[in-house]
Structure 1
Amino acid sequence: MPSKRLLKATLPLLFAIYSISAYSQTKQITGSIKDSKGTGIAGASVVIKGSKGGTTTNAEGIFRLAVPEATKTLTVSAVGFTAMDVDISTNTTADVTLVESNASLNEVVVVGYGTARKRDLTGAVSSVTAKEFNKGQINTPEQLLQGKVPGLQITNSSGQPGGLTIVKIRGNNSIRTGNTPLYVVDGIPLDGRTARPDFSPSGVGATPASDPLTFINPNEISDVQVLKDASASAIYGSRGANGVVLITTKKGTPGVMKIDANASAGFSDEMRKIKVLDAGGYRAALAKYNAPLSDSGASINPFDEILRHGFTQNYSLAFSGGNDNGRYRASFFAGDQDGIILKTNLKKYTGNFNGQYKFFDKRLSIDFSATASQVMEQVAPISQDAGSNGNLISLALIWNPTLPLKHSDGTYNQANPSGQVNPLAISDAYNDYVNITTLLGNVNAGYKFTNWLEYRFLYGLNYGRGDRKGEIQGWIKGTGGDADAKGLAAVYGRNLSSQTITHTLNFNKDLSDDFTLNALIGYEYWKTNYWGNTTYVYDFPYNLTQTSRTGIHYYDNMAAGKQGNLQAASFRDPLVEIQSYFARAILGFKDKFNLTATIRRDGSSKFGSNNKYANFPSVAASWTVSSEDFMKDLKVINFLKVRVGYGETGNQEFPANAALDVYQYTNNGTLSTLHFGNPDLKWETVKSINAGVDFQLMGGRIYGSVDYFNKKTTDPIILKTISQPFPGASQYINITDAYVRNNGVEVSLGADIITNKDFTWSANGNVTFLKNRFVYPQAGTAPYLLTGALHGQGTSGAYSEAIANDQPLNVFWLPVFLGFDKDGIGTYKNNGTPEYVADPNPKAYMGFNTDIGYKKWNLNLGAHGQFGNKLYNNTAMSVLNISNIVGGRNIAEDLPNSAENVANNIATSTRFLEKGSYVKLHNASLSYTFGNIGNQVKNLRVSATVNNVFVISKYKGFDPEVNVDKALNGVPSLGVDYIGYPTQRTFLLGVSFQL
């Protein structure tokens, strides 16, 4: 008996000792967590089943976990995927593929001043994550999204590295003021401008703008939310009229410090050329038109002389780590991209550092983020408004291909019988450098009074300093203006500063089993300031001949210029301040119905004294039909939600002094009036209706959405000539009886076509159908405003577009060309009386993306396009016209085969309208994932990417994706092309890995 008692007493102890012994021995489990496309899932949870011990995957979906030797099962889960148990009883590796589930609808997304579940959204919101971004040479965040979002139209307006990317959401809302969406980076609303100074030297003209978001490192963006309708963007009030783009940057993940490294290098060439005569064709044309003294005996390709294969290299490095109470991430980026045109370049250096820390049992949180960036450009003389001798592109296109560009001694040939400037010479004589330093930072603190009530405070600062120096050396002849045979130089400085202070109180609670409430109230103060200075001088005593050139640039020796020609100026825009109060509530009922209501009250210093404040409300509702009992038996439909909403937003993107009397002193000391103030000036208001449906079918393998939208912009703002207080005066006014309407349909559809262990194939596409109209019956049938200014030969005072009642914005207003008569002279309908003839706005635009994976290989293709619009080819009209051939200049390749006479006058007409429809393969990327190499290098991947692979279009210019700024009287143009920078095709080889 005692022995039995002893055995019973010691058995539990022996079992405990055995258990402790077994569990004191550990084993290392490594593996990867991927989705059905083979992409690593960042932040996936890997835990020991039945225990709290575990870890999370890194940015590439890789994990490492020490577990007790006796552990048999791990549970793997991630937001948007079905959880899975993994048997590790006989394995030390676990490579898991999770299946997407409707749980993705529970994913939390940023919606402005807060977050919400995807399934609770009632507005038109599109989300794009890092794994879906476009790849390759990406200079600006907008390029990540091209072709990805229905309703989002992205136009790369210039091939120059860092050139302006034009973004429009659901069409043009405004006649004069900006149509660009509001960008918000980690809660900080940006100014929308850049500190980059303009350089418009006399005789050459203004070079195109750069993109204000170039300073952001695209590699550090984790996701982007696009708020498209007013019910989603009304929370941003007077700045949300054109939609809102919310950019969230990457943050650190808990765990030991990890290092992410990326490098790429490659080169660029021109995607497409404008076809002009080669030397043989030129000689044949000379004979056909009996043109004298134009054959100089050589055979050259002048345009190729200003081209090069631009070399590109990019390097990025990121460090991250931390624990549940504190995380950090630091990243560095360096990029150097040569343009395909001589003396064009973009260099960018960006550093980011952010941290998220929690205190007092995680009730207090303090987050911070800081970005410092330096962007440096070298710019060529490629302007939007130059005549025939002031643009490098046009000079190369029309240079006589039988005339050498250089003499045998290496000096430039400046004795062209046509009087044309040598393109290589002007490239050499022109120097233009830009340096922009940008700082963006914020501190975000929050305190949770309870699990459902939190106060947050945000302070954000955005500062930019832009410096620019440029010159045209005096040895160049024929440019015209101040520089011609004298030389000029200019030095600029610009400063742009904005600050944000935001207070919010967030309430997020299940009120009962049936009701949930996500609500916030807030206050925001935002201000921005812009100021700068300029020094300009011409007529220098040195560098006046090619043989006596020195290495001393004019902009480094401004005092050597003739002091009587010295001009110095400074300016400071009025301080712009916006004070706002806002509130939002999202009420949910039984996980089926959601009602969202927002209100924002904005006061702005931009507006007249009688209209300082305005209210911007919105309301929207959704019904998750698939949650109803009658849908349970419809297995093919996994998710179905209908949405409807209405909202009002404002647009205040016009000069800060628009409501004020503005004067300036002239050179002779007299005071002149620029424009008179308007105490009644108020916001343009966009009233928007949206109705949509979201769906997932066949287990989520087919998914998409359909939206109808109708937007009406009331009280549009223009600068109008008025009769009082004296004739010819101007004033900013609201056209109270006019409005702009945009309505259309968006369709988005995607499918996981094949999903198995070794082979996956997914595809998605979107298309937007859009109709745009300006309505102002009081204007009658005549144009209300003119725009679309034209430049070059035969275009003195010419224009191509109009703002007119019951017409699309920027409708082409042109004489109708009927053809050539028997003598080769152009004929026109109604003796050349202009008519409304075509729409520059596309009737539809689309995007398509597909992803194919085979084992460790992955191919990604992205395309976009637009249809139903026309472009005006100002280049063909003014640069490559047939009269050039008798003047010693080149012409378009197809002109010798036309019936046109060389004596035909060049005139604005429908002759130069061309179809703007196109489809462009903008991204093709092939990658191979080696995985882990040894114990240190993880997830090694190599890739080959091509950007701007090809374009299918009948347009004869460099690229139908064009929008050169040809504004007239402050009214922007659309669809006018004039000798812009050619589109670059870029080839990159890249490698990425983790340590």
Structure 2
Amino acid sequence: MPSKRLLKAVLPLLTVMYSLAVYSQTKQITGSIKDSKGAGIVGASVVIKGSKGGTTTNSEGIFRLAVPEATKALTVSAVGFTTIDVDVSTMTAVEVKLEESNTSLNEVVVVGYGTAKRRDITGSVASVSAKEFNRGQINSPEQLLQGKVPGLQITNSSGQPGGLAVVKIRGNNSIRSGNTPLYVVDGIALDGRTPRPGFTSNSVGTSPPSDPLTFINPNEISDIQVLKDASASAIYGARGANGVVLITTKKGAMGAGKVDVNANVGISDEMRKIDVLDAGGYKAAIAQYNAPNTDSGANVNAFDKIIRNNAYTQNYSLALSGGNDNGKYRASFFMGNQDGIILKTNLKKYVANFNGQYKFWDKRISLDFSATAANVAEKIAPISQDAGSNGNLISLALIWNPTLTLYNKDGTYNQTNQSGQANPLALSDAYNDKTNTTTLLGNFSAGYKFADWLEYRFLYGVNYGVGDRNTEIQGWIKRIGGDAPDNGLAYTANGKLFSQTITHTLNFNKEIAQDLSLNAVVGYEYWKTNFSNNNQYVYGFNYNLTEQSRTGIHYYDNMQDGKQANLRSSAFKDPTVELQSTFARAILNFHDKYSLTGTIRSDGSSKFGKSNKYGWFPSVAAAWTISNEDFMKDNGIVDNLKLRVGYGETGNQEFTADAAQTVYRYTSNGSLQTVHFGNDKLKWETVKAINAGIDFTLLKGRIWGTIDYFNKKTTDPIILTPVAQPTGLGGTLFYNYSGAFVKNYGVEFSLGADIISGKDFTWSANGNITFLKNRFDYPPAGNTPFLLTGALHGQGTSGAYAQAIAHNQPINVYYLPIFQGFDKDGIGTYKNSGIPEFVADPNPKSFMGFSTDLRYKKWNLNLGAHGQFGYKIYNNTAMSVLNISNIIGGRNIASGLVTTSESPANPITTSTRFLENGSYLKLHNASLRYAFGDVSKIKNLNVTFSVNNVFVISNYKGFDPEVNVDKALNGIPSLAIDYIGYPTQRTFLLGLSFSL
């Protein structure tokens, strides 16, 4: 009896000891994961079935994994392939072949406040994963997408590192409000602004804006979804009018801790130059035009002197990740330092990311968090969008007399010359401009699963940013005019941005009947944002007034040293903007053939008048997966064929926060002045849009594509109009112009193919093209401009403009006198005595993107291109900087002018003469990679050589036809006007990446 009791007591212990003994013994499993063509699958997941251990495959599809001796099976999965279990009970080496899943229709994608299977998507949603992103030197997330998505138009408005990228989805929705899409990072909608202060001076003009997304580390983005139509973006209501870009960052993966390392270094030069006369051509031009002899005997290329000989770039990224079924983590750090090709320009940034996803209580409770901390520092040159020719570094270098030395014999700058212009090198030396912006983007979310199909989630997010700017023009610089002649100026500023998001959602995802599933979400959201700025400006210093007596002391560090009578301080704080919303979405799928999506959102915004605080934004869309019908089965050609159609309404509140309020300001003499009157009836601009599309995949996934037709109409556009005050003085008022509308319509095509799919050689290609038209209509119809815009700057352009908003015309139509040539005296002649007419369209009729990927064994070549066609650019640079009258004043001119019959006496006149064909095709990225694979303990070792902005094919005579300098007039944005902007940089990078 005692022996039996002893046996019962000892038996469990023996069992545990035996199990521990068995599992303490491990074996090494090696293997390869390949697709149906025999090519290795990169990043496939290999997990011990029923356990937490796992790994991923390298660039050749190879893995190594230590497993307990008793392990029976491994679970192998990869995006786009069917998951399988592999028996390893009797083997230590395996070769696994995965079958492509049904065109990834079961892949889960982010759609706003939740996820959905791709098969259930009824709207126009484009997905771009990390492996499809553009490569090379990437400073902001938009650059990852250039040329990748039909309907998405991305224009780099400046070549300066960190310069603003102008992004539009399916055209211009508004004539006044912002046309930039809403960016949502890991569920947090961004404000869209940056706390980096601006700078404006009469001497050097207005500094161009920076990109508000530069603080994001592109290496940490896993995928981006672009919601293009209203049926997809209506869930974002008042902020979804311009489309939505959903950015998802990388998260930890199951398996042991993993370290990813990326590093690259490189140099940059200018992609393209503007042709001006060299010393010989300049001398010949003096003789040709019988101009005053300003030949000084030298041979100088001033533009080359303001270009860096070695503009270095270096980027380093380190990420640590890992986790198991109950918790995953990822931490990363990025450091980038990019010199601009122009002297004293630079972008430096440090970004740290940390996120985690954890589950508790039998995975019913989830806690997720994510934090990004970034510091972005810029050095900026005096290259503005509205300065005169003497206040812009680029124009000064272009028009410098090529026979005139830049230095005196004693080594000082030559600041006395017959042209009366400033020395470009002197201006570069005397001008110092630095900005520093710190951003924190963080969120915390908690969820509770009542059941596998019902989950509540709470999310709190914050976007906090502070920025400062220190600028000076030292007093020894001569001849730049404006507010800094001979005594210097200094400017300091601070900006702050703070926004918060609170979201409650309840997600339902279940098969509610046989072959009928419902994916639904209801929620409440509160969003609040504040923006403020304060600055000080002073001129009149008593040191650094001669080049020889310069000190190392900066004016902006000693504002009190400026003449206090000239001190100007100002501050502003935008009214707090609050948005509270309720929303709901339901996606029904029947038999994997028919899908129906309905969305409704109610937004209340503090921006609007008390009579129109709230708006409703509905949408409905349906899809028919024709390929799942019985008559389409076993056809051998069509894998997937889906027809989509949808309608939705979204709102636009992207305009000044105080538009509905009466705003006053005190003038310099202490009197109170009305800035604009309030309008209690101010309401949303509303975009009503329809979309019809087809998605298809053919020949077992070898060919895929989409076709979409869209038609958008923006009603109740908001404008600022003059009104009379009771005192008889003029004032302005924001109001909705009833009956007016903006219309955008067009067609998008995308097509991709695996052209060759072999074991050693593969070749794939993707292309897309969008055809787009837009127009503006207003009652009563007329032939005169409704609003003017496109302000021009430089010599001879006082009060000049180039564009208009007009009835039955494209947005920003060119409104110009028609140039008819030169008369016998070389003087320009114009149609109808120079009366302006609607003459050309600045909106591209089509834009496209193309990429191709070729792999031969361990070599991989990737090319990316984009282009725009069928539009005109106004060359404000040719008109007012490089005109022929310069030759009389001792300045350089464009080389092409000497072959015309134009006289130097011809007055500078705004006209169609300066309209140029803007069509272009640019190879924006080329990269060549060699995959070494695993080398000792180093895994997935790759070496990559890449080039950004390789070349552009275009007849345009400026630096780059991809241009959009901000030439707004009276708050109305312009389009496709070029004025001595920062040249486009071509960057060569050599990179190394590996894992540990």
Task: Write out aligned runs for 1:455-470 (5 A).
Answer: 455-470=456-471
Q: Tell me how far apart the structure 2 counterparts of residues 112 and 709 of structure 1 sit (CA, whole Å).
A: 21
- Other-structure match for 1:611: 612
- Other-structure match for 2:757: 755
- Other-structure match for 2:766: 764
Q: Tell me how far apart the structure 2 counterparts of residues 73 and 354 of structure 1 sit (CA, whole Å).
A: 31
CA displacement at 1:888 relative to structure 2: 0.3
Matched, 1:423 2:424: yes
Provide, for residues 855-883 of structure 1, a one-character-per-residue CA deviation record: whole Å limited to 9, x for no partner. 11100000000100100000000000000
- Other-structure match for 1:232: 232
Flag structure 1 segments of 5+ consecutive residues without an equivalent: 1-16
Task: Write out aligned runs for 1:968-987 (5 A).
Answer: 968-987=969-988
- Other-structure match for 1:565: 566
- Whether the 8 Å contact between 1:472 and 1:488 is mirrored in structure 2 is yes
- Other-structure match for 1:3: none
Provide, for residues 631-679 of structure 1, a one-character-per-residue CA deviation record: whole Å limited to 9, x for no partner. 0132100000000000000000000000000000112111011000000
- Other-structure match for 1:173: 173
Query: Closer, same or farther in 2 for the Cα pair 1:950/1:91, shift >3 Å?
Result: farther
Letter in 2 for 1:420: Q
Aligned to 2:104, what secondary structure does the other structure show?
helix
Task: Write out aligned runs for 1:261-280 (5 A).
Answer: 261-280=261-280
Aligned to 1:102, what secondary structure does the other structure show?
coil
Letter in 1 for 2:943: V
Q: Tell me how far apart the structure 1 counterparts of residues 855 and 420 of structure 2 sit (CA, whole Å).
A: 58
- Whether the 8 Å contact between 2:239 and 2:653 is mirrored in structure 1 is yes
Task: Write out aligned runs for 1:48-67 (5 A).
Answer: 55-57=54-56, 63-67=63-67
CA displacement at 1:820 relative to structure 2: 0.9
- Whether the 8 Å contact between 1:787 and 1:801 is mirrored in structure 2 is yes
Task: Write out aligned runs for 1:890-929 (5 A).
Answer: 890-929=892-931
Matched, 1:833 2:835: yes
Q: Tell me how far apart the structure 2 counterparts of residues 96 and 834 of structure 1 sit (CA, whole Å).
A: 71
- Whether the 8 Å contact between 2:39 and 2:760 is mirrored in structure 1 is no
- Other-structure match for 1:809: 811
Task: Write out aligned runs for 1:275-294 (5 A).
Answer: 275-294=275-294
- Whether the 8 Å contact between 1:33 and 1:44 is mirrored in structure 2 is no
- Whether the 8 Å contact between 1:263 and 1:990 is mirrored in structure 2 is yes
Q: Tell me how far apart the structure 2 counterparts of residues 53 and 365 of structure 1 sit (CA, whole Å).
A: 18
- Other-structure match for 1:439: 440
Q: Tell me how far apart the structure 1 counterparts of residues 809 and 20 of structure 2 sit (CA, whole Å).
A: 82
- Whether the 8 Å contact between 1:328 and 1:354 is mirrored in structure 2 is yes
Flag structure 2 segments of 5+ consecutive residues without an equivalent: 1-16
Task: Write out aligned runs for 1:297-446 (5 A).
Answer: 297-308=297-308, 309-446=310-447
Q: Tell me how far apart the structure 2 counterparts of residues 508 and 921 of structure 1 sit (CA, whole Å).
A: 44
Please point out which of 790, 793, 809 is paired with 2:792.
790
- Other-structure match for 1:14: none
- Whether the 8 Å contact between 1:37 and 1:853 is mirrored in structure 2 is no
Provide, for residues 902-954 of structure 1, a one-character-per-residue CA deviation record: whole Å limited to 9, x for no partner. 111110110000001000000000001111111x2111100000000000000
Letter in 1 for 2:106: N
Q: Tell me how far apart the structure 2 counterparts of residues 231 and 110 of structure 1 sit (CA, whole Å).
A: 15
Letter in 1 for 2:765: A
Q: Tell me how far apart the structure 2 counterparts of residues 591 and 209 of structure 1 sit (CA, whole Å).
A: 48
- Whether the 8 Å contact between 2:788 and 2:803 is mirrored in structure 1 is yes
Provide, for residues 502-533 of structure 1, a one-character-per-residue CA deviation record: whole Å limited to 9, x for no partner. 00011111001221000011000000001121
Q: Which moved more, 1:598-607 or 1:821-830?
A: 821-830
- Whether the 8 Å contact between 1:251 and 1:355 is mirrored in structure 2 is yes
Query: Closer, same or farther in 2 for the Cα pair 1:237/1:22, shift >3 Å?
Result: closer
Letter in 2 for 1:869: Y
CA displacement at 1:85 relative to structure 2: 7.1
Identical residues among aligned pairs (%): 73
Provide, for residues 252-280 of structure 1, a one-character-per-residue CA deviation record: whole Å limited to 9, x for no partner. 11221111000000000000000000111
Matched, 1:744 2:746: yes
Q: Which moved more, 1:158-167 or 1:63-72?
A: 63-72
Task: Write out aligned runs for 1:555-634 (5 A).
Answer: 555-634=556-635
Aligned to 1:106, what secondary structure does the other structure show?
coil
- Other-structure match for 2:698: 697
CA displacement at 1:54 relative to structure 2: 6.3
Query: Closer, same or farther in 2 for the Cα pair 1:293/1:507, shift >3 Å?
Result: same
Aligned to 2:888, what secondary structure does the other structure show?
helix
Query: Closer, same or farther in 2 for the Cα pair 1:566/1:917, shift >3 Å?
Result: same
- Whether the 8 Å contact between 2:58 and 2:933 is mirrored in structure 1 is no
- Whether the 8 Å contact between 1:357 and 1:367 is mirrored in structure 2 is yes
Letter in 2 for 1:161: P
Q: Tell me how far apart the structure 1 counterparts of residues 760 and 471 of structure 2 sit (CA, whole Å).
A: 57
Provide, for residues 595-630 of structure 1, a one-character-per-residue CA deviation record: whole Å limited to 9, x for no partner. 000000000000011100000000000000000000
Aligned to 1:389, what secondary structure does the other structure show?
helix
Query: Closer, same or farther in 2 for the Cα pair 1:551/1:465, shift >3 Å?
Result: same
Letter in 2 for 1:967: A
- Whether the 8 Å contact between 1:79 and 1:106 is mirrored in structure 2 is no
- Whether the 8 Å contact between 2:238 and 2:652 is mirrored in structure 1 is yes
Task: Write out aligned runs for 1:958-977 (5 A).
Answer: 958-977=959-978
Query: Closer, same or farther in 2 for the Cα pair 1:508/1:629, shift >3 Å?
Result: same
Matched, 1:244 2:241: no
Provide, for residues 1-45 of structure 1, a one-character-per-residue CA deviation record: whole Å limited to 9, x for no partner. xxxxxxxxxxxxxxxx99999998643123454667967543524
Query: Closer, same or farther in 2 for the Cα pair 1:288/1:331, shift >3 Å?
Result: same
Aligned to 1:104, what secondary structure does the other structure show?
coil
Q: Tell me how far apart the structure 2 counterparts of residues 285 and 95 of structure 1 sit (CA, whole Å).
A: 74
CA displacement at 1:95 relative to structure 2: 6.3
Structure 1 length as normaliser, TM-score? 0.96
- Whether the 8 Å contact between 1:217 and 1:350 is mirrored in structure 2 is yes
- Other-structure match for 2:5: none
Matched, 1:932 2:946: no
- Other-structure match for 2:661: 660
- Whether the 8 Å contact between 1:320 and 1:327 is mirrored in structure 2 is yes
- Whether the 8 Å contact between 2:32 and 2:40 is mirrored in structure 1 is no
Provide, for residues 723-768 of structure 1, a one-character-per-residue CA deviation record: whole Å limited to 9, x for no partner. 3444521000111110000000000100011111100100010000
Provide, for residues 423-473 of structure 1, a one-character-per-residue CA deviation record: whole Å limited to 9, x for no partner. 000000000000000000000110001111100000000001010000000
- Other-structure match for 2:542: 541
Aligned to 1:105, what secondary structure does the other structure show?
coil
Q: Tell me how far apart the structure 1 counterparts of residues 793 and 38 of structure 2 sit (CA, whole Å).
A: 51
Q: Tell me how far apart the structure 2 counterparts of residues 411 and 163 of structure 1 sit (CA, whole Å).
A: 32
- Whether the 8 Å contact between 2:48 and 2:71 is mirrored in structure 1 is no
Q: Tell me how far apart the structure 2 counterparts of residues 712 and 94 of structure 1 sit (CA, whole Å).
A: 58
Q: Which moved more, 1:802-811 or 1:33-42?
A: 33-42
- Whether the 8 Å contact between 1:493 and 1:534 is mirrored in structure 2 is yes
- Whether the 8 Å contact between 1:82 and 1:103 is mirrored in structure 2 is no
Aligned to 1:246, what secondary structure does the other structure show?
strand
Letter in 1 for 2:130: A
- Whether the 8 Å contact between 2:52 and 2:254 is mirrored in structure 1 is no
Q: Tell me how far apart the structure 1 counterparts of residues 754 and 19 of structure 2 sit (CA, whole Å).
A: 46
Matched, 1:202 2:202: yes
Query: Closer, same or farther in 2 for the Cα pair 1:262/1:589, shift >3 Å?
Result: same
Q: Tell me how far apart the structure 2 counterparts of residues 269 and 37 of structure 1 sit (CA, whole Å).
A: 42
- Other-structure match for 2:554: 553
- Whether the 8 Å contact between 1:440 and 1:461 is mirrored in structure 2 is yes
Q: Tell me how far apart the structure 2 counterparts of residues 469 and 509 of structure 1 sit (CA, whole Å).
A: 57
- Whether the 8 Å contact between 1:31 and 1:63 is mirrored in structure 2 is yes
- Whether the 8 Å contact between 2:820 and 2:831 is mirrored in structure 1 is yes
- Other-structure match for 2:3: none
- Other-structure match for 1:728: 730
CA displacement at 1:201 relative to structure 2: 2.0
CA displacement at 1:70 relative to structure 2: 8.9
- Other-structure match for 1:11: none
- Whether the 8 Å contact between 1:229 and 1:689 is mirrored in structure 2 is yes
Query: Closer, same or farther in 2 for the Cα pair 1:814/1:38, shift >3 Å?
Result: farther
Q: Tell me how far apart the structure 1 counterparts of residues 915 and 32 of structure 2 sit (CA, whole Å).
A: 55
Provide, for residues 762-821 of structure 1, a one-character-per-residue CA deviation record: whole Å limited to 9, x for no partner. 001000000010011415110000000000111110000000000000000111111111
Q: Tell me how far apart the structure 1 counterparts of residues 660 and 96 of structure 2 sit (CA, whole Å).
A: 62
Letter in 1 for 2:832: N
Letter in 1 for 2:934: N
- Other-structure match for 1:516: 517
